Amino acid sequence: MVEIIAHRGYWIKESEKNTLKAFKRAFSFNFGIETDIRDYNGELVVSHDIPGGHSVKLETLFALYRSCSQKGVLALNIKADGLQGKLRGLLEKFKICNYFVFDMSFPEQLLYSKLRFNVFTRQSEHEKVPLLYAPANGVWLDEFSDRWIKGDVIKRHIRKNKAVCLVSPELHGRGFFGMWKDYRDWSGQNSAVKMFLCTDFPEKAGGYFNEKN
């Protein structure tokens, strides 16, 4: 089974990305979410770019997550350095265990691993060897321009007991149905392993990957 992660929430309009409205919509479908974490005025906030006073506080997002009795994964894209202490405090405050952090710089990834956060390393056509692979809980598999992910790549990670998150091609402006078919075939061959799909079309993906054949 493939678990669906809504990229920056389940947004309908571009302006809804990384908003509470998009997160609440995703949680109502029991989807996980991917979002971007930075700091602003001493607090952790949700923002892909440089944050301002309008940015959603991470504490507010976590409170929404708990209030929705949500079980979907939180994929936390770390956009700034030195967030470990405040992030740990919020994860513990809201008793959030189903999460992973990713996309931070190498020195930060090393620190997150040493502090025993749930960390996903990266692999793409530009990052052929995943950094700090051994301590990683999973792998964020990305295709920026070249279609390089094959079933044997996924199987290799699975044999190492790594969860796998596939980045859907539309996040890079490409068609997705061809790859979705491959992803569904591969997930069917490895049903006991955690596989995620991060997508801009979570409802469509949820129907496609969970439909009865």
Q: What's the DSSP call for residue 86?
A: H
As given in the structure block, the two tokens for residue 75 are: 């994929």
Amino acid 176: pLDDT: 87
Domains of the chain with CATH codes = 2-210 (3.20.20.190)
141 Cβ contact partners less than 8 Å away, ≥ 6 residues apart: 123, 124, 149, 153, 154, 164, 165, 166, 167
Residues in the chain: 213
Q: Which of 13, 52, 55 minimizes the C-alpha distance to 35?
A: 55
As given in the structure block, the two tokens for residue 20 are: 């509470």
State the residue for tokens 């056509």.
125
d(CA 112, CA 68): 28
Amino acid 121: pLDDT: 98
Amino acid 9: pLDDT: 98
Burial status of residue 160 (CB atoms within 10 A of its CB: 0-12, 13-18, 19 or more):
exposed
pLDDT tens digits for range 149-179: 888 999 999 999 999 999 999 988 888 888 8
Tell me the mean pLDDT in the region 69-92. Answer: 96
Read off the amino acid at residue 179: M
Amino acid 112: pLDDT: 99
Amino acid 187: pLDDT: 76
d(CA 183, CA 158): 14
Query: Rounded mean pLDDT of the chain?
Result: 93
Q: Which residues pair with 5 in a beta bridge?
A: 32, 198
Residue 91 CA, chain-centre distance (Å), reads 16
As given in the structure block, the two tokens for residue 153 are: 């790549």
Burial status of residue 164 (CB atoms within 10 A of its CB: 0-12, 13-18, 19 or more):
buried
Q: Which residue has the higher pLDDT, 1 or 76?
A: 76
- Whether residue 20 is predicted with pLDDT greater than 90 in this model: the reply is yes
User: Residues of the chain with pLDDT > 70: what percent?
Assistant: 97
Tell me the mean pLDDT in the region 83-102. Answer: 98
Amino acid 145: pLDDT: 87
As given in the structure block, the two tokens for residue 40 are: 């602003």
d(CA 11, CA 18): 8
Tell me the mean pLDDT in the region 114-120. Answer: 99
Of 12-16, 105-109, 174-178, which range is least confident? 174-178
Tell me the mean pLDDT in the region 78-99. Answer: 98
As given in the structure block, the two tokens for residue 74 are: 């939180």
